[in-house]
Structure 1
């Protein structure tokens, strides 16, 4: 029981520090813990779970720079409007350069453009999950600039085109999940190791 005051004090310190970080109104937050349960960084590191109607739809522009980049290590973006097409802009996540994990869930994405994730040099996990049956197209340079990526999950989606250079820029990739989807083309994919 004598450890309780110390644990409580540490918890309160963490909560106070999180409260000082400006969080957009459509996001919920919790402390980010790396797999293994430890957080070696003394700064506040957060996981944000944000719900939008769509990403850069015809009716609204999405500005990811309002998310506190210096504290956000993990981000989940959920789209509530499954009818509006979402668009990821080249370098749209550039302000989140400390991001290690990114999930985009329920957004009607038809294309991942060149340089979509450029600047996310620490990104280790990328998950793209959609409820739409529209095929997803990856431009040849869509994965450029994220050489630290270890896990890529594009399951439950039909891929219209998987260009060979889309994955060649991922030297650290150790896990590729494509189950549940199908390919319209694997245009000269070659050997993937």
Structure 2
């Protein structure tokens, strides 16, 4: 999958296989779906493929690929699937973490961060999933938006989120130092 994230020609070649998604080897489907999302931004085809998925494995691959759509309107459509209950609740974190990994999706995720946290807290009552999702997303979506991210995190004072908030700020600090060290 990593090559499809940095090599646009490879991603385009992989994306061409998307129309044959269900006939592909399961080990390559995620690469193909993410490549398709990155290169086309085509939410509708991903949604149609999601509706045809019969296994949880394929569903999570398509949901994860939706995080790589990069365009606010496409990401908004994917988030609407979550809001409307068309994505299994346990699979929603996959979308958020994928969106955090996609540089073009980070601003959208930051804008919808409060919804993400509220939604995860409602679904995963009493678990560390919301905290771990904060921990996984903030170090990425906060790059270049450090002050805004820190202000936002100050509002999350509940004990069940504190570990994720603290760890996410540590990760963000590391990423900031690394970004400054790169010439």
TM-score by length of 1: 0.37
- The structure carrying a bigger strand percent of its residues is 1
- The structure carrying a bigger helix percent of its residues is 2
